[in-house]
């Protein structure tokens, strides 16, 4: 009893075509994810700059010191 499957030329061509379509779809998804990653990096950079600016200009108020008994 053989475990080998035999395929016709047409079946192999269909399989390869299907795999190529899947690869192209994955490539498209990777491109979209790279673009989203760039957008996130830019947003994080701007947010970090805004937080730094906020901390620099933040007014520090005097606080009471707790007395120890």
pLDDT value of position 62: 67
pLDDT value of position 5: 86
Say if CB 15 and CB 7 are below 8 A apart.
yes
Q: Considering only residues 5 and 19, tell me which one the structure prediction assigns the higher pLDDT.
A: 19
The 10 Å Cβ neighbour count of residue 59 is: 4
Confidence of residue 45 (pLDDT cuts 50, 70, 90): very high
**The whole model's pTM is what?**
0.64
């Amino acid at each position: 009893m053989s475990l080998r499957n035999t395929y016709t030329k047409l079946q192999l061509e269909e399989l390869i075509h299907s795999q190529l379509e899947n690869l192209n779809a994955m490539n498209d998804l990777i491109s979209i994810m790279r673009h989203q990653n760039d957008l996130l990096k830019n947003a994080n950079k701007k947010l970090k700059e805004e937080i730094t600016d906020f901390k620099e200009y933040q007014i520090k108020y005097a606080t009471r010191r707790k007395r120890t008994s």
